[in-house]
């Protein structure tokens, strides 16, 4: 696995993430979606694939369970064990995934956050508070903003994202040298 999608700028050795939008340093799928490959003894169907959304924080609880060790939820608050999927059982319950990217980078991304709940993904821009809603099952390239078509869904996801910011004590950009105060949820 990787911690980010391929570089999609003119720096270094750019890669193409098409059909995904963006790349490293972006909270679009091109920046956060990457292969996650697990090889483990006892897998029910070697070579099988799953569409279950996972994050790097899932490695620790998965490795603990595969090794027969007790889970330590106080150490892996954001991760869940993927062992049931590997064993051919029902996927564990996961309501939402969250991303927080509170700064600028040399890859061209913008400060923002995102929440994914099932096929739906909301992206919030910290510069001005704008938000965008996508159905990534039907629009993997994130080109059709559906926030105006589904305002209740967008607001509910935004509220959940803001609650998560508070729960994890997310840090945001601070004004520098009496400059303009950045937007903050």
pLDDT in tens, 24-73: 888 999 889 888 888 877 776 777 788 888 888 898 999 999 889 998 88
Q: Which CATH class is domain 95-167?
A: alpha beta
The model's pTM is: 0.86
Question: In the chain, what are the domain boundaries?
Answer: 56-86, 95-167
User: In the structure encoding, which two tokens stand for residue 39, read together?
Assistant: 């090889």
The Cβ of residue 17 has, within 10 Å, a number of other Cβ atoms equal to 22
Q: What is the DSSP-derived secondary structure letter of residue 71?
A: P
**CA triplet 89, 95, 101: central angle to 5 degrees?**
120
94-112 burial string, b = 16+ CB within 10 Å, else e? eebbbbbbeeeeebebbbb
pLDDT in tens, 96-130: 999 999 988 777 788 999 999 999 999 999 988 89
Average pLDDT for 155-177: 88
Q: In what order do the strands lie in the sheet with 97-101?
A: 97-101, 112-117, 120-125, 131-135
């Amino acid at each position: 696995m990787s911690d980010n999608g391929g570089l999609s700028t003119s720096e270094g050795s750019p890669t193409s993430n098409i059909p995904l939008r963006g790349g490293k340093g972006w909270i679009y799928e091109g920046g956060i979606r990457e292969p996650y490959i697990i090889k483990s003894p006892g897998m029910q169907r070697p070579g099988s694939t799953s569409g279950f959304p996972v994050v790097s924080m899932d490695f620790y609880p998965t490795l603990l369970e595969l090794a027969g060790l007790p889970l330590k939820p106080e150490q892996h608050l954001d991760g869940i064990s993927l062992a049931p999927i590997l064993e051919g059982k029902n996927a564990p319950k996961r309501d939402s995934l969250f991303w927080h990217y509170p700064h600028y980078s040399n890859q061209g991304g913008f400060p923002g956050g995102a929440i994914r709940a099932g096929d739906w993904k909301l992206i919030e821009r910290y510069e001005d508070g704008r938000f965008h809603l996508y159905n990534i099952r039907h629009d993997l390239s994130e080109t059709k903003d559906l926030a105006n078509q589904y305002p209740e869904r967008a607001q509910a996801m935004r509220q959940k994202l803001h609650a998560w910011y508070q729960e994890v004590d997310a840090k945001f950009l601070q004004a520098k040298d009496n400059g303009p105060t950045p937007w903050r949820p």
